[in-house]
Each structure stands twice: as structure tokens, then as C-alpha cells.
Amino acid sequence: GVAGDITLDPNMASALAMILVWLTTLVTVVHQWLLRRSYHVTR
């Protein structure tokens, strides 16, 4: 099945993990930047 194919490819799994880490970091940084920006604007 599809799940078996995914688990059989460690390279794809590591690549997906790296993408998830990068996306999480990017979202966190952008969120913090937007919070800081809106905080300065509202004050």
C-alpha cells in the first residue's frame, strides 16, 4: 500500500521531516515578526 511505500523510503521520510522543520521554523519566525510589528503599530 501507500503507507508501506512511504515507510520503505527513508530518504523521502527524512526529506519530509526537514521540510516540516523548516515550515515550523518559518511560521514561528513570521508569527513573532507579525506580533512585534502589530504591537508597535497599536501602541
For residue 1, pLDDT beyond 60: no
Domain boundaries, the chain: 2-42
Residue 2 has a pLDDT of 61
- What mean pLDDT comes out for the span 24-36? 96
d(CA 13, CA 4): 12
Higher-scoring residue by pLDDT: 9, 31: 31
Which residues are within 8 A (CB) of 7 and not within 5 positions of it... i.e. 6 or more apart? 13
Residue 40 has a pLDDT of 78
Has this prediction a pTM greater than 0.85? no
Burial, 39: exposed, middle or buried (Cβ in 10 Å; 0-12, 13-18, 19+)?
A: exposed
Instruction: Report yes or no: 21 and 15 within 8 Å, Cβ to Cβ.
Output: no
